Copies of this chain bind each other. A is one copy, B any other.
Amino acid sequence: MTPVNATHDPARHSWVESANRPDTDFPIQNLPFGAFERNGEPRAGVAIGAHVVDLRALRDSGLLAAGSDAAIACEAAGDGTLNRLMAMPPRYPGALRAALSDLLKSDSPQRASVQQHVQALLPRIDEVALRLPCEVGDYTDFLTSLHHTERHGRYKGLADPLPAAFKSLPIAYHGRASSLRVSGGEVRRPHGQYRDANGQVVFGPAPALDFELEVAAWIGEGNALTQPIAIDAAHAHIFGYSLLNDWSAKSIQWFEQVLGPFLGKSFHSSVSPWIVTAEALAPFRKAPVPRAKDDPPPMPHLHGALDQQQGSLHLDLYAHLSTNGLREAGAQPVRITHTHLDNLYWTFAQMVAHHTSNGCNLRTGDLLGSGTISGAADEARACITELTDAGRHPLRLPNGETRTALEDGDEIVLSARATKPGAVSIGFGECRGRIAPALVDRQAEIAA
């Protein structure tokens, strides 16, 4: 069997030509997992260039050695979601990824056999409907960027803009799982209660709509209730990562928030369709940025030797905005954010260790959002609230438009690239959503 390292080999190319383009997110070194619909049926798949390997077709092709770990893993994805595959010990999905790398490489001895099945095996991504990659039990959203937290504290005029707990634990709240949606399509502007310009509480289409650029970890193997996950075991429980746009109706949030965000977030959260595996990201691991000298060290249960060595990733993150005006003018989307995973104060392993430190059980398919990944630099502000200094300095677009919040028709595309000298750069695919107008006359309709 191909060792994991061979799947990262920069010399490896694919006979799927689109996977060799330098700008693809999905070279043969990536092979992220996802789910899609084909002929009305749910399917699990693996992205390669502009194509997706249909794992049910792969199972039926006989190309995987019967009884092999790869075949067992492929069989587990036969129901069209990834939950069973993700719940398996990592060697099974790892074996499937390695087998796919072998089948898809330019000099694969099986190339001719695979190509006999190419119609069934390799639909184009743009010809299938992508789905949320797995069923999400619980979705947790963290608040782990010091810069994001501090800026928001300043906007609120707090004497100490950073909450007391921020450097002691990764702050988090439970999010809404039912309204998670795969990237693409419309994000309906919600109705809600908020204070208008006169301070009156009104109910209507929510102003002050914002995006929030996040990375989210998908839980693979879970833990039993009452059994915490130790910090240096935590990475083994993370199957992979996606991009998350935690759309926020700030107007609703500001008024409702007593026990945390609720309707200001639960109208829609967008997730990129592909789970980039922790295994594919291994070459891009790096040490997290050390804490400032004056900062308290993490408590023992949040301090892991392994995590201190490789708890972050060489991962650049981007947000692009397009508007009706820009599209009508034929202009490209405008890059409004360029940030980096290093801007998190806490690592994903620390989030997992903290989350389970009270015995809380994580389940396969649970999603852990990083929180908005803002950095110190102006270009690293990862939501419009920060990009406009809470509305004081509107965002100016090349066509003269300005924004202090998202307007109907505005589209946000999040993207990410892992890069490191000597490794083939891999991407996450996009997390896209366009604001659709609030449903008309909804208040009257509801009251009727």
Contacts and interface: CB of A to CB of B under 8 A. Distances in A.
Interface of A: 137-138, 143, 163-166, 168-169, 171-179, 181, 188, 190-193, 201, 203, 206, 225-226, 228, 230-231, 249, 252, 255-256, 258-264, 266-268, 299-301, 303, 353-355, 357-363, 366, 439, 442-443, 445-448
A277 to B, nearest CB: 23
Contact of A448 (B225, B230, B256, B354): B230
Contacts of A225: 178-179, 181, 188, 267-268
B300 A446 contact: yes
11 contacts: A172-B262, A174-B262, A176-B360, A179-B360, A203-B357, A252-B358, A263-B354, A267-B358, A267-B360, A301-B447, A353-B446
Contact of A366 (B164, B166, B178, B303): B178
A168 B181 contact: no
Nearest to A206: B358
A256 B171 contact: yes
B173 A203 contact: no
A174 B172 contact: no
- Between A193, A230, A249, A355, the greatest number of chain B beta carbons within 10 A of the residue's beta carbon is seen for A193
A442 B193 CA distance: 44
Contact of A188 (B178, B226, B263, B268): B226
B203 A301 contact: yes
B191 A260 contact: no
Contacts of A176: 138, 174, 360
A178 B201 CA distance: 35
Contact of A178 (B137, B228, B260): B137
Q: Identify the 3 closest CB pairs spanning chains A and B, nearest first.
A: A260-B260, A190-B358, A300-B447
Contacts of A193: 165, 168-169, 299
Nearest to A230: B446
A299 B174 contact: no
Contacts of A201: 168
A355 B178 CA distance: 12
A374 to B, nearest CB: 16
A264 to B, nearest CB: 8
B143 A258 contact: yes
A258 to B, nearest CB: 5
Nearest to A366: B178
Contact of A259 (B260, B263, B443): B260
Contacts of A178: 137-138, 225, 360-363, 366
B357 A172 contact: no
A394 to B, nearest CB: 26
Given A174-B176, A174-B262, A191-B358, A165 B447 contact: no
Contacts of A303: 447
Given A138-B178, A366-B178, A190 B256 contact: no
Given A178-B361, A267-B358, A259 B446 contact: no
A361 B179 contact: yes
Given A165-B258, A301-B443, A303-B447, 14 more contacts: A165-B255, A169-B193, A171-B256, A171-B258, A174-B260, A178-B366, A179-B360, A193-B299, A203-B299, A228-B446, A263-B357, A267-B358, A301-B446, A357-B446
- Between A174, A176, A203, the greatest number of chain B beta carbons within 10 A of the residue's beta carbon is seen for A174
Contacts of A353: 446
A266 B174 contact: yes
Contacts of A255: 164-165, 168
A191 B447 contact: no
Nearest to A360: B266
Contacts of A166: 258
Nearest to A361: B178
B258 A358 contact: no
B358 A259 contact: no
Contact of A171 (B190, B259, B267, B443): B259
